[in-house]
Amino acid sequence: MNTPAVTTDRFDSTATITSRASIRCLVVHDDLELRLRLASLVRRALPKTDADCITCASFDALPPERIAAYGALLLVVEFSLRDHTVDPLARLERTHRLTPRLPIFVFARGGDERNAARTIKMGAIDYWPVHAVKLGELTAAMQPLLIAPPPAEPAAPAVSAPPPAAADSRHEPQIAGYRLVKTIAESAAASVYLARNDDLTQPVALKVQALKGRHVVSDDDRQRFVRECQILSSLNHRSVADVLDYGVTEDYLYLALEYFPCGSLRDRLRNPVSEADAVNYGRQIGEALQVLHIAHVVHRDLKPSNLMLTDDNRVILIDFGSASMHFEASDLSRSDLCTGTPYYVCPEQIDNCDPDARGDLYSLGIVLYEMLVGTLPFSGNSLQEIFTAHRSAPVPRLPQRVLRYQPIIDRLLAKNPAERYPSAGLFLEDLSAVSAPIRTSVAGVSHMGVSSP
C-alpha cells in the first residue's frame, strides 16, 4: 500500500525540523488561508517561535515520533460537521494518546462551552473559538514553551506519562463561602462552576478568573470584570441575569450569577421551535435589549448561547463581558474577524466600527430568523464567506407559513444601521402587531394571542 505524501505549506516533509526559531509548532487544518493566518499569529505571539502548516490528511500520515518532534500542536477543530458519526475530537484524542507530552492548543469552529470543557479533559492545553483568538492570550498560553520545551516522544504511548505542565493551573479555586460542585465551562480566560453557598438557597453559576499563573490578568481585564459586575448589578429586569455576589480575592476575580439548569436557547434550537415560541422568545429578548439600551448599554455579543432558559420558559440574557466596550478586533485577523460570534455579528462590527444599539437589533434579527425558519440567514464555508454574506447578501425570504414577519426581519437585518429599527421599543410594537393573530392552544383549548412566559 502506498503511503500518502506528507507536505507542509512552507517546508518539505523530509526536512529536519531546525531553524533560527527556538521552537517550531505545527498548525493543522484543511483551510489554507486559516492555517496560514494562525501560523502568522503564532509568530507574532512569540517571535522565537515558527510554524509549519499541513492538512488533516497529511497530519494523519505523520508517524508519532515526527509529531512529537514539534514543540506544540495547534489544531483547528470543526464542531459543526454534518457527519455526526465522526467525533470532531478524535484527532485530538489520538494525538494526545500517542504523544502525551506534546502541548496541544485547540481552535474551535462551531463549538460551545461543553465542547470547550470536553476538549480540555481530553488533553488540550487550551481552547479558543477560532474567531476570538487574542494575541495577548495566545502569548501567555505559549510562553511556557520557551521556558521548558517538551522533549521528543517515542512512538509508543507512554502509559504513565505525566500531564502537561500547565494542567495544574486549572486546579479548583478556593473562594470563601462557596463549595464547587462541578465545572460548567472553561475558556482561556475564565472558568464557570456550579457552586453552592451557605447563605443562598439556590445553587449559583460561579464565574472565576485567575489573577496569577499562565493567564496574566491586566488592569484592563480587571476593569472589564468590574464593569460586567456593575452592569449586571444595576439592571433589574426579569429577562436579565441577576448578580448574587461578586468580589476579588488575592488569587481570583469571581462573579456569582443565577444558575439556569434548563440550558441555553442554543440547546433549545437543536429542535424545531413553534411560531408562538419564536415570537415569545423574540419579544423577551427585545424587552431585555430595551432595558439595556435605556441604560446606555450595548451588549455586542447577542447569540443563542448567551440566552438562557428557565423552567417557566423565560429567556434570560447573560454574559456582559463585551458590553460597553469599544470594538476590539480579534488578533487572528484584524481585517475580518471580530469579538462577536460570526453568524450573529452585524456588518459594521465586521468592518471594525463600534456598533450601537442597532447592532444588537441586527443580532436579534439573526436569532429571530433562526427560530422562525430553523436555519441561519447567512452562512458559508469560511469566515470570509460568512462575513461577505453579512455585508452584501440579500436577506433571505421567509417560508410562506411565517412570511408575514418578512418586513420585521428585513428591517432588523438591514445592512445600513440607519435603516434598522432605531429602538427595541419600535421593534416590539411591530412584533406585537404582526403576531396578534397567532393561534395557540393550552390543554387542547384554542385561543388567540401569544402566551406570556
Residue keyed to cell 474567531: 131
The catalytic position among 31, 50, 126, 301 is: 301
Chain centroid, CA 363 distance in Å:
15
250 contacts: CB under 8 Å, gap ≥ 6: 211
Q: Any residues with CB less than 8 A from the CB of 442 and at least 6 apart, and which?
A: 451
Question: In this structure, how many other beta carbons lie within 10 angstroms of the beta carbon of residue 440?
Answer: 17
CA distance 135 to 187: 15
Whether residue 276 contacts residue 436, with contact meaning beta carbons closer than 8 Å, is answered with: no
Which residues are within 8 A (CB) of 236 and not within 5 positions of it... i.e. 6 or more apart?
none
Torsion sign over Cα 93, 94, 100, 104: negative
DSSP, res 384: H
CA distance 216 to 73: 22
Gap between the Cα atoms of 224 and 218, Å rounded: 10
H/E stretch holding 68: helix 64-68
Residue holding cell 486546579?
Answer: 171
Q: Can 301 be counted among the known catalytic residues?
A: yes
Grid cell for residue 380: 458559508
Contact present, 287 and 316 (Cβ < 8 Å): no
- R_g of the chain, CA atoms, integer Å: 23
Question: What b/e string do you get for 310-345 counting C-beta neighbours within 10 Å, with b at 16 or more?
Answer: eeeebbbbbbbbbbbbebebbbbbeebbbbbbbbbb
- Torsions phi, psi of 451, nearest 5? -65, 140
Closest CA to 341 of 369, 362, 313: 362
Copy the grid coordinates of residue 334: 484584524
Per-residue DSSP letter, 301: -
Strand pairing category for 23-28 and 72-78: parallel
Residue 325's nearest CA partner among 338, 315, 336 is 338
Largest CA distance in the chain: 76
Number of helices (H) and strands (E), helices first, in the chain?
14, 14
Active site residues: 301
